[in-house]
Structures are given as structure tokens and as C-alpha cells.
Copies of this chain bind each other. A is one copy, B any other.
Amino acid sequence: MISSSRLIKALKRQPVDRSPLWIMRQAGRYLPEYRAIRESTGGSFLKMCKNPEIACEVTLQPLKRFDLDAAIIFSDILTIPDAMGLGLHFIAEGGPQFEFPVRDIKAIEQLPTLDPNTDLQYVMQAIALVKQSSLQVPLIGFCGSPWTVATYMVEGKSSRTFSTIKSMLYQDPQSLLALLSKLTRASCDYLHAQILAGVDVCMIFDTWGGVLSGAAYRQFSLHFMQEIVSYLKSHALTKHIPIILFTKQGGQWLEDIAETGCDAIGIDWTQDLHHARSRVGEKVALQGNLDPTILYASNERIGQEVKSLLAAYGTGSGHIVNLGHGIYPDISPEKVQVMIEAVHQYSPAYHP
């Protein structure tokens, strides 16, 4: 039944009745029911991720409210370095921080090899709980790209310039490559375990690949995502699972990303979807790419933006409607409903 879902069919560019739709960070702070649970756990995002019952409940919240075509497991891209013992915590305004950044080959060599079924057991338990629920749509599992996860591990926190990791990239590339290899190994095992636990689709979030030059992107980010894709596509238990790669600000490298063997590419709102399809649409599906800030607009304007998006992709399967980035915390859920209804209303015309 999941295999005949709109999302899976669109990822395989098979005919669908209308364009599937889900929303990055659909389980999140813009939902009052999410904020209620978060308050009840003392406001700790990480504590929520690590409690399988809560993670399951939060994963399902948007599906109870909205007619969406996928769930995505409630988790974070930094679970791997957290499990490696780097001391992850989230500060109020500044995002994630690591107590023990990794900045030299000694620290990299000392990183432990993870067994996701024990070290990240809480994720697998949450996935299992979601799959035991009455969820009718595919469940997406995910990880961060090795490069993106490494930026946080090396910088120790969010960055604007990425000076520390890019210093390493240019001064000591071998150490950085060693770190990326370790993260790639962990990511392969992690997604493999997520698939065995029940996820139907995998997505790799490369939030910071777009801060690299083309040559550095291919060597330090895309190469390792490709290794993960190759690993999953070559193993009997995982090879049927569609994989979505998303490099924010990676629009200029779509052809290279499509070459990895992934099934779909997520694109941000700065890219023209029509142009993107003309470049890679024969090879992969495309996911995106509404500007998250259109959800501040009037209902009429939201409808117009959805129409423009659908027209930009055009007729035929292979488009998964989404925002080009995670939904912002101050968006009204009513606006999300308007967007969803517009997709339901206008997209069937593109699937004759």
C-alpha cells in the first residue's frame, strides 16, 4: 500500500492523481500542539527527540491536522555526533552547540564507531512506533550530509563564514577527509538501520554544501553523499528505498547531484523549477520549492504561488511539492492549510 502512495510513485516518476505534498519541519514549533508537548518536557528539543513516545507523537501531529502525503521522523541531523559523545546542546537563539568540537586528526581518530541500533536506539524505536500507528502515508527517515554534520562538529556551532572547517579544508584536507569518511560510514549504517526499522524513503540534508566552491562541493560534500547512495542502492534490504538529496543553494550543481543515483533532488526557492526540470527531470524527481515566507502572505497570494509552482514544473509526475526550506516557527497553521488545499485543488490538472 505504501508502495502505491503518491509520494513513492512521484519519487519514481510514475503516474499519480495529484502532486504529493509534505513540508520540511512539518512537526515543529508553528503547531500549538507541538509547543504544548515541548513545554511539558521542559522545552528541550533534544529530550523530545530522545523520547520515542514523544518523537512518535510529534511525528504524527501534522498528519492529524493536515492531509499530507508523508510523515518525517522527528529527529535532528546532529544525532550522530551527539551519539559520538561531542556534548550536543541547543541554546535559545543560537542553535546547536557542541561542548567538544573536533578539530584535529587525533580527535577525529578517537571518534567511536557507532552501532545505530544501540547508540541511536531511540530513533529506531520512534520509527517502529510510528510504523505501528495508523499512519497511511510513507515515513521519511533522514540524516545530515557528512559535510553538513562536520561543519557543526568542527565549528562547534552554527557559523556564517565556516572559517574553521574551511581552514581545515585548505590547510589539512586529509584530516577533514578522514572525518567525512567516518561520518559517511556512520550515516550508511544509520540510514540502513532506519530502513530496517521501517522508514519508506530516505533524505539527506546538505544544509551547508552551498557554501563551498564547485570543486570543493564535489570533493567534500557530494562525493560522500554519493557513497551513501551507492551503499544503500547496493544492499538487498535497502536498494528499493527512494533517496532524496537536498543541498541548499546547490542549484548550480543539479546535474552532478543527479549523477549520484539518487531518486530525487530537493531544491530551494532561489531556483527556477521549470529550468531545474529541463536540466535533470529525465533522470530524477524534484522536491520543492516554495519560499517559506510566502506563508506570511494572503490566502489569495498563497494560492497564486502554488499555481505558479505547479505550472513551473508542468504536466506529469516527478514533482513533490514542498517548501524550499523548513517552515518558520511563526507561521500560522491556517496558512499551511491554505497551501495544502491549493495543491489539492490545482495539481490534478497537471496529472491528466
A290 to chain B, nearest CB (A): 9
Q: Does A213 contact B (CB under 8 A)?
A: yes
Asked if B252 contacts A270 (CB within 8 A), the reply is yes
Given A170-B297, A301-B170, A269–B163 Cβ distance below 8 Å? no
**A213 CA to B268 CA, complexed, in Å:** 9
Interface of A is mostly: helix
A295 to B, closest residue via Cβ:
B170
**A200 CA to B302 CA, complexed, in Å:** 45
Asked if B171 contacts A296 (CB within 8 A), the reply is yes
Asked if B328 contacts A291 (CB within 8 A), the reply is no
How many copies of this chain does one complex carry? 2
Query: Could you tell me which residues of chain A, from 209 to 223, have a CB within 8 Å of some CB in chain B?
Result: 210-217
User: Which of the residues B162, B214, B251, B293 comes within 8 Å of A293, measured between beta carbons?
Assistant: B162
Q: Does A259 contact B (CB under 8 A)?
A: no
Query: Could you tell me which residues of chain A, from 135 to 168, have a CB within 8 Å of some CB in chain B?
Result: 161-163, 166-167
Which B residues lie within 8 Å of A210 (CB)?
A: 249, 270
A158 to B, closest residue via Cβ:
B160
**A296 CA to B165 CA, complexed, in Å:** 11
Asked if A293 contacts B166 (CB within 8 A), the reply is yes
A292 to B, closest residue via Cβ:
B161
Asked if B213 contacts A291 (CB within 8 A), the reply is yes
A94 to chain B, nearest CB (A): 10
**A167 CA to B213 CA, complexed, in Å:** 31
Which B residues lie within 8 Å of A167 (CB)?
A: 293, 296
Q: Mark interface residues in A280-317 (1 if CB within 8 Å of B CB, else 0).
A: 00000000000111101110010000001000000000
A37 to chain B, nearest CB (A): 24
Which B residues lie within 8 Å of A171 (CB)?
A: 296-298
Asked if B291 contacts A166 (CB within 8 A), the reply is yes
Q: Does A169 contact B (CB under 8 A)?
A: yes
Which B residues lie within 8 Å of A252 (CB)?
A: 251-252, 270-272
Q: Does A330 contact B (CB under 8 A)?
A: yes
Which B residues lie within 8 Å of A269 (CB)?
A: 213
Given A249-B249, A252-B252, A296-B167, A216–B272 Cβ distance below 8 Å? no
Which B residues lie within 8 Å of A215 (CB)?
A: 308
Which B residues lie within 8 Å of A251 (CB)?
A: 252
**A213 CA to B249 CA, complexed, in Å:** 12
**A272 CA to B330 CA, complexed, in Å:** 37
Asked if B163 contacts A293 (CB within 8 A), the reply is yes
**A166 CA to B305 CA, complexed, in Å:** 14
**A301 CA to B167 CA, complexed, in Å:** 12
User: What would 17 A/B residue contacts be, using CB atoms closer than 8 Å?
Assistant: A161-B292, A161-B328, A162-B293, A163-B328, A166-B293, A166-B296, A167-B293, A170-B293, A171-B297, A171-B298, A210-B270, A212-B270, A213-B270, A214-B270, A214-B271, A251-B252, A252-B252
- Kindly list the 9 A-B residue pairs having the minimum CB-CB distance in the complex, ordered from nearest: A170-B297, A166-B293, A167-B296, A213-B269, A214-B272, A213-B291, A170-B296, A170-B294, A251-B252
